Chain A
Amino acid sequence: DAGVIQSPRHEVTEMGQEVTLRCKPISGHDYLFWYRQTMMRGLELLIYFNNNVPIDDSGMPEDRFSAKMPNASFSTLKIQPSEPRDSAVYFCASSLELRGQENNSPLHFGNGTRLTVT
């Protein structure tokens, strides 16, 4: 089990540029989540998918952010145009079910993409 795989690990871009973050969830997991982590706000849920369908995007900051899941093994989070305040670590997580069974984590996180917008 390779775990949740995110790419790139680091992204540095200039303000106004388009940024695309990628995620491959654990095979067989039906739920995929995108989180953002900053020092000021901690871990925030941006959006989650169930069976490739976006269920709740209320955490997406604004229209500059969009997420897609074209198939069960791939998701993207896009920021267009990017701004310096978007600088953060973006995590993708997946789970077999929403709440998890006893002794199993509901969420398995990737190692994140550190985004810096200058």
Chain B
Amino acid sequence: GESVGLHLPTLSVQEGDNSIINCAYSNSASDYFIWYKQESGKGPQFIIDIRSNMDKRQGQRVTVLLNKTVKHLSLQIAATQPGDSAVYFCAEANDYKLSFGAGTTVTVRA
């Protein structure tokens, strides 16, 4: 079946370094992708989104890259801060349904 999944379940990064979180998707019909951040005890919080007619989108300290050829999505966080420690989910949208990946736990080392 088709699914959204993350390559790595955990990521440890030194404060100030850049983080890269990867995501693979398999539904070629998906045309909208979103990254969410979830902190302990809270609901997922929107970070950035990208539509399939784009291959790169930048926000504040974050960049999302989409490679439709290999069905790969990544989230880059510049100058990672302690507040970036959380679980990060990618989600793909096909029509109204959002399918979430398993999540990557990011831990920032001081």
Contact = CB atoms under 8 A, between A and B. Distances in A.
Interface in B35-88: 41-46, 49, 51
Interface residues of A, number: 22
A91 B43 contact: yes
A107 B98 CA distance: 9
Interface residues of B, number: 20
Given A99-B32, A100-B49, A106 B42 contact: no
A107 B46 contact: yes
Contact of A112 (B43, B46, B95): B43
Interface string A61-101: 00000000000000000000000000000010100001110
Interface of A: 4, 42-43, 45, 48, 56, 91, 93, 98-100, 102-112
Interface of B: 32, 34, 41-46, 49, 51, 89, 93, 95-98, 100-103
